[in-house]
């Protein structure tokens, strides 16, 4: 009985879905993205639609969906019909390859490993920097309170953790043991582990908790705008992690919907000077060196190391650090 009910229910849902899609005759594209790209894509989509029409394409509508990155990817895995997925972490996109929604070699299909723009982790401190926080080593000092979202539930926290680890490893005489000790000291200074980046910003700003907030470069400007430049300021550490924002079209979906060309063009346009310019304006580091140079005042020079450089591969970093019983869990278990 139960399986026939499930079948009945799913066919009903399917019919409802068809009815909704049939009512929209024009071509639509769904971009499933993470939280903080909302403002960027709101400007990018009209620019792309105009570009697509100019180059002889039909009128298209681009819909955006935003939310926590892994929640968004789970929705796509569970059947959300996303034509393109634009994320802030390679592991999230790898999940789509795991269930064959996209081929395993997805990163080779677009320039620069399918990453049109990048970001990094910077610090936001209270005005005047009363605790004198200049670099990662200051975060591990006793008496400094550090706000980082949970590395297990947010890309933001994951990158912050990996950046701290990478920093310690790259110090003279740095090794795994020292890095572990260093990261443990930093997390001993973390009073609250919010589940996402925006929550951490609220904790730091509205609740007045912590001396320093770790967040993405593109969030720093937003945080300062939101909290007021008379309340907080940005600090650029000596080195940090390269946060790659991969973009991908979802083969299974575009093949079915017949939007392959459109989806590809949508992502290609991100690499164009116009797309790169928009990304830069929203705080993402463009991968086009010319555009990056043009916005040098926005993007201070900083030694960036990528996750595969330091940890071998994303899969290895995930497994060693964030799996159950991994190093992050051990840090808390032995506290």
Partner 1 sequence: MSFVRAQRSVLPGFGLSLGFTLTYLSLIVLIPLSAAFIKTAGMSWADFMTAVASPRVMASYRLSFFASLAAGLVNSFFGLIVAWVLVRYSFPGKRVVDALVDLPFALPTAVAGIALTAIYSKNGWVGQYLEPHGIKIAFTEIGVFMALTFIGLPFVVRTLQPVLSELEPEIEEASATLGANRWQTITRVILPELLPPLITGFALSFARALGEYGSVVFISGNMPMRTEITPLLIITKLEQYDYHGATAIAVVMLVASFSMLLVINLLQKWSRRYYQV
Question: Where along the sequence are the contacts to partner 1 (CB under 8 A)?
Answer: 1-2, 5-6, 68, 70-71, 73-74, 77, 95, 150, 152-153, 191-195, 199, 206-209, 322-325, 329, 332-333, 335
Long-range pairs, 141-146, Cβ under 8 A, ≥24: 141/189, 142/189, 144/189, 144/211, 144/212, 145/189, 145/190, 145/191, 145/209, 145/210, 145/211, 145/212, 146/186, 146/189, 146/190, 146/210, 146/211, 146/212, 146/214
Closer residue to partner 1 (CB): 11 or 61: 11
Cα(193)–Cα(30) distance, rounded to whole angstroms?
32
- As measured in angstroms, the least distance from the Cβ of 323 to partner 1 is 8
Cα(27)–Cα(323) distance, rounded to whole angstroms?
41
CB–CB of 230/106 below 8 Å? no
- As measured in angstroms, the least distance from the Cβ of 274 to partner 1 is 34
Closer residue to partner 1 (CB): 128 or 325: 325
Closer residue to partner 1 (CB): 27 or 95: 95
- As measured in angstroms, the least distance from the Cβ of 139 to partner 1 is 17
Cα(141)–Cα(8) distance, rounded to whole angstroms?
60
3-class DSSP state of 289:
helix
- As measured in angstroms, the least distance from the Cβ of 85 to partner 1 is 14
Segment holding 212, helix H or strand E: strand 212-216
The conformation of residue 106, written as its DSSP 8-state character, comes to G
Closer residue to partner 1 (CB): 142 or 258: 142
Closer residue to partner 1 (CB): 68 or 166: 68
Cα(298)–Cα(165) distance, rounded to whole angstroms?
26
Closer residue to partner 1 (CB): 79 or 300: 79
- As measured in angstroms, the least distance from the Cβ of 258 to partner 1 is 29
- As measured in angstroms, the least distance from the Cβ of 190 to partner 1 is 8
Closer residue to partner 1 (CB): 164 or 263: 164
Largest CA distance in the chain: 68
Nearest to 109 by CA among 88, 91, 93, 92: 93
- As measured in angstroms, the least distance from the Cβ of 38 to partner 1 is 19
Closer residue to partner 1 (CB): 172 or 325: 325
Cα(265)–Cα(267) distance, rounded to whole angstroms?
5
- As measured in angstroms, the least distance from the Cβ of 318 to partner 1 is 8
Closer residue to partner 1 (CB): 209 or 302: 209
Sign of CA dihedral 11, 16, 17, 18: positive
Terminal Cα-to-Cα distance of the chain (whole angstroms): 51
- As measured in angstroms, the least distance from the Cβ of 135 to partner 1 is 25
CB–CB of 164/137 below 8 Å? no
């Amino acid at each position: 009985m139960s399986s026939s009910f499930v079948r009945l229910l799913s066919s009903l849902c399917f019919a409802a879905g068809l009815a909704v899609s049939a009512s929209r005759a024009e071509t639509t594209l769904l971009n499933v993205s993470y939280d903080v790209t909302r403002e960027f894509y709101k400007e990018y989509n009209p620019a792309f639609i105009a570009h697509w029409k100019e180059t002889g394409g039909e009128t298209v509508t681009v819909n955006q969906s935003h939310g926590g990155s892994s929640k968004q990817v789970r929705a796509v895995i569970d059947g959300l019909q996303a034509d393109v997925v634009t994320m802030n972490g390679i592991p999230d996109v790898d999940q789509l390859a795991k269930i064959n929604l996209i081929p395993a070699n997805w990163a080779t299909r677009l320039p620069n490993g399918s990453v049109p723009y990048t970001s990094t982790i910077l610090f936001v401190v209270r005005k005047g920097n009363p605790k004198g926080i200049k670099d990662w080593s200051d975060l591990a000092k006793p008496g400094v309170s550090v706000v980082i979202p949970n590395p297990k539930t947010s890309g933001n926290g994951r990158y912050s953790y990996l950046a701290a680890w990478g920093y310690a490893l790259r110090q003279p005489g740095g090794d795994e043991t020292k890095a572990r000790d260093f990261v443990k000291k930093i997390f001993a200074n973390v009073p609250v582990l919010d589940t996402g980046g925006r929550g951490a910003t609220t904790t730091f700003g509205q609740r007045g908790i912590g001396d320093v907030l770790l967040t993405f470069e593109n969030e720093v400007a937003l945080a300062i705008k939101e909290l007021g430049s008379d309340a907080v300021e940005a600090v650029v550490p000596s080195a940090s992690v390269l946060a790659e924002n991969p973009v991908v079209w979802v083969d299974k979906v575009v093949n079915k919907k017949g939007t392959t060309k459109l989806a590809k063009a949508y992502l290609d346009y991100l690499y164009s000077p116009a797309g790169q310019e928009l990304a830069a304006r929203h705080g993402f580091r463009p991968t086009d060196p010319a555009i990056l140079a043009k916005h040098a005042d926005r993007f201070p020079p900083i030694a960036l190391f990528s996750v595969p450089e330091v940890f071998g591969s994303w899969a290895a970093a995930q497994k060693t650090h964030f799996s159950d019983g991994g190093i992050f869990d051990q840090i808390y278990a032995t506290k």
